[in-house]
Structure 1
């Protein structure tokens, strides 16, 4: 049975920890846990049977049978006034419920599963969008090189819309760490001879998505077996990396469904 506790002090050590998690995008690496705010992320977490250590809800949420049922999944629950919940919120319009979940930084690379490699992507929205596309199109592993936005930061979590809980996420890597992959690496390039729709894409594979301004670094591009172009008949110079990723991952998924 869940342990329920009412908190009214801003200086409560648990709330101080959650405040750090909500305000510092990389705090989860030091503290070993992640703050999920809002019923959408909470539901996504539970649907994937992701472990939960703590639920925090407002006094109003504690009276709501639906939100209270979500909180019952946690072994420990805190009930706080709405004003106090706002102090641990990263949202302009604070939610009514949140979970603290453990962060596992010790996962190993799966050498043979469909993968997306993120090369120093800076924008949290782009990173979260790519995670969501990866989950939608059956790519189960995300490998982030050093310099990429923190994968479990609040902004990436919100953009990912729950995709995190169905993915293997590994970050802080260098190009050499990818040498153990038993997959062909594919990158997009405006100089590629072949366009995406003209190729039979390898399966499984690892798509490489590069820095928003600089693209894929040379050391990583050298490891790519294949480069492809995305046709842009409208004449734009380039696509947003989140859009490019969605197109590439969709084409991989489409070809597999066609063959099947």
Structure 2
């Protein structure tokens, strides 16, 4: 590992990483990703990802565990806390971050248990859904155009490492889903059966819609099944990430 001490904010590598960290869709142009914190770096390493570059503070270098994480990259930059804060999207910045090279976007796996995101806007919702998908055995996430960038820093932070174990395909049109051989299932408050009373197909693709508008009519027409989540408390609707967790859990529960 090559270890460089950096004290200037004008260092070319730091300038590049600041731009990457500040641009939600910057990874699409650069093919690389900035992640912050030892949890995300460990999650990536556990899934076989290797960082191209690690940045850590001078204090982190004195921590044996963080210093060991830095050794996973061919090059590490050691910076003062003030320079690391300039890279951070957190109120309380971490002590270590890394740049990862993103592989090419995979093709859709027609037979995979999937989650389809239809124009979800909130990065926190998208990241939380990815986390639920990974935890409950849905290994493919398909995002239609208009959905928050899947690899944006905010979505990656909300995903808590789930990204590195998922097959992520974004920028899709509804017609692209025609290759799926698994049935599409959506939640709906109209013409739907209660979720807990329905025998769910397995595998399937759960369709989750825009926070305000729901699933588009064109995509809803493609769904083989519509289910509703009972809400005895009388609320109009659930947060989409909460609804996703309930639906994915029910699928996993029925499969035993």
Sort the TM-score into its range (normalised by shorter chain).
over 0.9
RMSD (CA atoms) = 0.9
TM, length-normalised to structure 1: 0.96
Runs of 4+ aligned residues of structure 1 deviating over 3 Å after TM superposition are none
In the other structure, the counterpart of 1:46 is 45
In the other structure, the counterpart of 2:197 is 198
Question: Aligned to 1:85, what secondary structure does the other structure show?
Answer: helix
How many residues align? The count is 256
- Contact kept, 8 Å, 1:195 with 1:231, in 2: the verdict is yes
In the other structure, the counterpart of 1:82 is 81
1:85-124 correspondence runs (5 A): 85-124=84-123
- Contact kept, 8 Å, 1:105 with 1:170, in 2: the verdict is no
In the other structure, the counterpart of 2:69 is 70
- Contact kept, 8 Å, 2:2 with 2:75, in 1: the verdict is yes
- Contact kept, 8 Å, 2:50 with 2:72, in 1: the verdict is no
Unmatched 5+ stretches in structure 1: none
In the other structure, the counterpart of 1:136 is 135
Q: Deviations over 1:174-220 (max 9, x none)?
A: 00111101110000000134111111100110000000000001111
Unmatched 5+ stretches in structure 2: none
- Are residue 35 (structure 1) and residue 37 (structure 2) matched? no
CA–CA distance in structure 2, aligned partners of residues 27 and 253 of structure 1:
35
TM, length-normalised to structure 2: 0.98
For the structure 1 residues 58 and 24, does the alpha-carbon distance in structure 2 shift closer, same or farther, using more than 3 Å as the test? same
CA–CA distance in structure 1, aligned partners of residues 136 and 176 of structure 2:
24
- Contact kept, 8 Å, 2:105 with 2:168, in 1: the verdict is no
